[in-house]
Structure 1
Amino acid sequence: MSLTFTGRRAAAAVLTAALLVPLAACGGSRKDGGDATVTASVGGSPSANLTVLAAASLTDVFKSAGAAYEKKNPGTRIRFSFAGSQELVAQVKQGAPADALVTADTKSMDSVKADTATPAIIARNRLVIATTEGNPHKVDDLKDLADTKLKVVLAAPEVPAGKYSKKILDAQKITVKPVSQEPNVRAVLSKVELGEADAGLVYKTDAASAPDKVDAVDIPDAQNAIAAYPAAALKQSKNAEAAAAFVAWLSSPEAQKILRDAGFQQP
């Protein structure tokens, strides 16, 4: 009887070992406790489910960039959370679960330097005056925004686009009384698109995203401000290697072409 039981145990052990061999050969590993599954990606970068906090002005281009990255790195999934940079910084300080941060100014990124890896500038941008389609109020330059009959909307002062707007208006000694101050630059664009405002200061790429709804009036370089977009992996990320790989990819020729095609300037 004991010999039969021993024989059965030996057979079971052999069968279990045989089943484990192909699983081990897959090379995958999992970090439990809420972490995403991390495996070796076909594209060479670690695979994971990443959450990227990104400035609102990156909404359209990052959707394209994320799709391109996922195609190159099967198994990786990227979820973007878009908002004003000041809101993103607040989320990081509050410990929101995220893996990387991309802001529309260096000051916002510097305010959370204790929480990030070393950031890299991935793109630049500039402001334009967005007007309702056809520019019916004939807005030609910054000084036209001072017209009290014109409904002008700006980003709030704490928002990067709002800071840049204030900087260029102050430099030209132009006083604008906005009908509203919005929490991010996309909200400014939306107000103009919907006809709730006659004009607003937005990034060039924002105006380009709605060519059939708004017109863009260029601002001369000497009167303009250049926005810089730093990107960094977050130290709180549970997928540090994968987050760092995505941030590094944003400076690659492939990602830079996507950004250039969307109207962003070189870093």
Structure 2
Amino acid sequence: MKTTLIIPARYASTRYPGKPLAELTLPSGRKKSLIRLSWEAAVSVRGVDAVYVATDDDRIADHARGFGAEVIMTSDTCRNGTERCADALDRAGIETDLVVNLQGDAPLTPPWFVEDLIAAMGADAAAQVATPVLRCDALTYGHFVEDRKAGRVGGTTAVFGANGHALYFSKEVIPYIDPGKLPDPIPVFHHVGVYAYRPAALRAYMGWPTGRLEALEGLEQLRFVENGTPVACTEVDGRGRVFWELNNPADIPRIEAALKEL
């Protein structure tokens, strides 16, 4: 399969304006932007034929070109990363078998998460969309609970059926667990912000209006669920590494601490 990886990035984030250009301090003391760290994670993935940053903002585009990324300028009407990937594919005239969306706020994404996702799509010709899920350890589950108690919108959780197809995604912590009866293993799965799509699925997505649940949760993948397109949830192994996205300024110390452990 010819595989194209696109990193959608926008400046006007509601929760964190200018997020792609936010700087994180590495263990060496050197600072790198969030978008650069995400791009470096993307180019380390095996089996990818091309990597692009897709944005509508000249500040992000100029910065990305400065560290060597190829950039596709997209429309400023794109409402989420999936729409931006579809727009980039169309504008650049890219012919590919698979499109991977690695969101620009996830520099801690291990390369094997994406490699496992690509392999899963290659093994299932009927799959139109797939996304990784990671079983929460006690630390990550604690971050979820802490964020909700503080009124912060943090990561996303996923629930899926016996066939591995998504039943729902939420910014709440689902399923509910009695705080006094935390089971082992923890039955909460962290949705990893990566998607793999067939090009036909991206084209179909652009033809659907924003769904009711998508609008309520602010989660783009729910548009597929609401329109009956199965989203395959591929469980990945963290191999002891901490995974977290940069959703809010409060996440910077968490990610900087995790970078020290790599």
Question: For this structure pair, what is the TM-score category when the shorter chain's length is used for normalisation?
Answer: under 0.3
More helix by share: 1
TM-score by length of 1: 0.27
Q: TM-score, normalised by structure 2?
A: 0.27
Find the structure with the greater CA-based Rg: 1
